[in-house]
Amino acid sequence: MKKVILYSVVILAAGGAAFFTHKHAVKFEALQKERRTTIATNSDVSANADAEQTKLGKERATLAESQQKRTEVTQSIASLKAAGANMERDVAALDTTLKAQDAEFAELDKTLKEVNKILEDLGGGVTLETLPEKIQQIEDDKKARVLKMEELTTLVGAAEKLLEKNRAEVDRLVKKDVARNSRIAQNSVEAAITAVDQDWGYLIIGAGSNSGFTPQTTLIVKRDGRMIGRVRPSKIEPTQTIADIDFSSLAAGVRIQPGDRVMLMKPNAN
């Protein structure tokens, strides 16, 4: 009997265990199904979230790109405005420059006309191309004249020293010729040449301002009663005169010598 009861208990326990096992299996299966459904739902939600996130990222990228382009456009507009302002300033500066250039061109045209007039006055077919050569020639001539003037100054200095050295002798000769001056014609002055320097082209006459000689006086040189040339006073003292020889008035081969006489080309009136 105990065995029967024991078997019954065992059977009941086994049945109960089976029942509870089946019940738990069914509940577990339901839980598993719910879990799978939840997982699937979560997967869909996650996928949608990822898609939305991706879409949101694209929108953000598009927005960032738009903002970047907006910034670039704003900067471009600012640059264009600055460039426009610079261009306006450049145009104003160019306008001022053009006006200044017009004035310069007008001045240059005036100068060119003056230069052409000068070139015409220079003669000899001088042009702008040959002007530098002409200017150089003028400069060379000027230098040559300056050198000649310096040379003449030196020679004049030497002549004055020579004159000073020979003044005593000249005075003596002048006194000697005083007697000859007494033979001057009624309304003419005549005097003797006391010294001649052919190299320097001057001579000394034994008469001066006391005899009526002036710097404007032209004197005729005579020899044996015939005119052989002319001289012009360059320095006149009371009793003697230094005169330059007019070589163009001398005949070929003729040289004025001491002892030749001079007389006024236009006699003084009584």
Q: What is the pLDDT of residue 230?
A: 93
Q: Is 166 exposed, middle or buried (0-12, 13-18, 19+ CB in 10 A)?
A: middle
* Per-chain mean pLDDT for the chain: 79
Read off the pLDDT of each residue in 152-158 and give the average, rounded to a whole number: 85
pLDDT value at 182 more than 50: no
Number of domains the chain contains? 2
Q: What are the DSSP calls for 200-220, one per residue?
A: TTEEEES--GGGT--TT--EE
Residue 184 pLDDT: 44
Cβ count near 138 (within 10 Å): 11
Distances (CA, A) of 61 to 10, 68, 116: 72, 10, 77
On whether residue 110 sits in a domain, the answer given is yes
Q: How far are the Cα atoms of 164, 204, 227 from residue 161, in angstroms, in the given order?
A: 5, 14, 31
Mean pLDDT, residues 233-259:
92
Residue 187 clears pLDDT 60, i.e. is over it: no
pLDDT of residue 164: 81
Asked whether residue 83 is domain-assigned, the answer is yes
Name the pLDDT band for 190 (thresholds 50, 70, 90): confident
Is 65 within the bounds of a domain? yes
For the segment 75-91, the average pLDDT, to the nearest whole number, is: 82
CA distance 228 to 262: 10
Stronger pLDDT, 167 or 197, i.e. the higher one: 197
Does residue 155 belong to any structural domain of this protein?
Answer: no
143 occurs within a structural domain: no
Report if pTM > 0.85.
no
- Please give the DSSP secondary-structure letter assigned to residue 247: G
Can you give the pLDDT at residue 139?
83
Identify the domain containing residue 229 by its residue range: 166-264
For residue 232, pLDDT beyond 80: yes
Same domain, 174 and 116: no
pLDDT of residue 222: 93
7 assigned to some structural domain: no
What would the mean pLDDT of 141-164 be, rounded to a whole number? 84
Question: Can you tell me the distance from the alpha carbon of 145 to that of 161, in angstroms, rounded to the nearest whole number?
Answer: 24
Q: Which tokens is 205 given?
A: 């006459």
Question: Do 23 and 117 sit in the same domain of this protein?
Answer: yes
Reported as a pLDDT band with limits 50, 70 and 90, residue 217 is confident
- Summarised one tens digit per residue, pLDDT across range 139-152 is 888 888 888 888 88
CATH number, domain at 214? 2.40.10
Q: How many Å apart are CA 208 and CA 160, to the nearest integer?
A: 17
Residues 170 and 90 in one domain: no
Last residue of a domain, one of 54, 89, 123: 123
Please give the Cα distance from 175 to 206 (Å, whole number): 8
Per-residue pLDDT of 55-69, as tens digits, reads 878 888 888 887 888
Give me the percent of the chain exceeding a pLDDT of 90: 19
Q: What is the mean pLDDT of residues 121-125?
A: 63
Residue-wise pLDDT for 11-40, tens only, equals: 665 666 566 666 667 777 787 788 788 887
Q: Give the start-end residues of each E strand in the chain.
A: 190-197, 202-205, 219-223, 226-236, 241-246, 261-264
Residue 8's pLDDT is 62
